Structure 1
């Protein structure tokens, strides 16, 4: 089995093993730590020694033994340790995918929304603490402490497996963040992380299968599929970024486009509009255009305007500025961008700088575009994006 296949297998097995251990031992924090150590051991041993016949049972056994070791080191829980130590490690994990229930557990009401999202990204999505910290724009040490506190709070609150509908918006937001990290890696040499994007889609399909009538779930799945359909066209053979307007649309995955378009239509049949339905409608509008020149930018702008009203967010305004520039000219887009300059969440953000550079270039201000592209390249942690922005800067410099 290839290293990539082993990584996919571990990503699939990890939440299942964690669910089984939490059900058996009832302590999320210790079980999560033990499972992570078992996964690390597997990542080291399996490529050289081969994948065991029953990988989930292997992980469960190693994790259970590690949990026993952790319990033995905690003298304050000696009595519980004795009871646990007499139990044999589980022979196998039930052939049931409890990933959805694990998602809801991580979104426990005892946690703040930020902690719910961070813990789910860590326990179910497989993101590192550093990646989660970048998603929240906080230092890694701050995020590590937040995740640790979240696990302790679930333990203190007696977290149980329950599909509470009130937790669904947080679950969807988590899946959205996982997909975004997979589609555009926040750092590193690679433009994307296919494993994370696929996992986000898999988990969203799981939620959609259980909640097929929820318009926002349907909209989120549509958005992911329509976006992921562009993957093969968004980078050159050497890994350089190709923006949406310059992509060869014949390379888009037509099966994903067709499925995403149908889901987007279904999602708009609900009584009220939500942010994922609207984003799916925007993605569908782009997918419906045979070429970039055929894009219905007025419709895109109208959808962003509605999205901005029901779910205000600086990134939504940023994207609306691009659509506005396509319909009313770059000056209008730049004026809208100027309203974000005082937003602390966007201070020094490379996307604000790169969009401003793009609009300045369209307006004929080569010097201004060069400077903004250069600054944007400095602020991004993605090497693929940095190369693209540096190339744009060089082109403007002439």
Structure 2
């Protein structure tokens, strides 16, 4: 029975998706909603279920439970499984999967029906839009990696898919080309009104490209939201650490407060005696030359300073990374400073923290 699309439905809607292989649940409880022209990024380490989720949406794999709908019409559930070619989805993978025996124009036209002038016109339109005008007769082997990526994008866009599924599509590109190719690809997809689901394990790529990030771990989504929110309000220590280096200091809760060498931290919602970890990023550490002095980033002054000895200082290109061995526990705390700041090993300095940038989480249980 034909379904009637729901009004104002998202372009792609995934509800409570699960997938079991050989008795192991590799994806569980995945729910996503992606509007036309929006980019949703599935972010997480290798083996967390990102690519499996993508393959289920594409119809390459069949889910164990849950539904996949396009424009309000179910394309896959417990009793229905439309094949990939019936789902109006485009696919771009890391290796581009271009046909070496076909030229550029033939690759782009591969997914189009017929051979008439409309097909030729669509191919020429896409060649112009991906900045490959005049490349139609060239062989794939004659193209650079960036040019092959553009051909793969044009081929995927040729049938005007409602959803574009991209699995690590830029990882094989030279770093010098990657940012430009990513930006061009996103601009074109948004112009086409295509909903995009992008799989990556690189936080920087997700932050650069996504309107929404779904952070995955062990087959399920642990946090979902806009890049700014997911970066600045991580759900746990692992989520914070996935986006950047973090420092961790330990403490125990007493009266909704935790005493540390950096002063007291608020710990609302934790019972007295609870072991907690205070997590903060290196860029949120203030460095002073003495206990009441002004260091290289003096605009921030929070809490009680704690003394540390410089272990190592390295210039990283646009900032300096300084590692300190702290007096109070002998552990290392890392701090970053804009520009060049390279104090000598053994120099004593005072560190303090930006309280509003610190996160308090329950301490990880010993395995």
Tell me, yes or no, whether TM beats 0.5: no
If you compute each CA radius of gyration, which structure gives the higher value, 1 or 2?
A: 2
The structure showing larger relative contact order (alpha-carbon pairs under 8 Å, at least 6 residues apart) is: 2
More helix by share: 1
TM-score w.r.t. length of structure 1: 0.25
More strand by share: 2
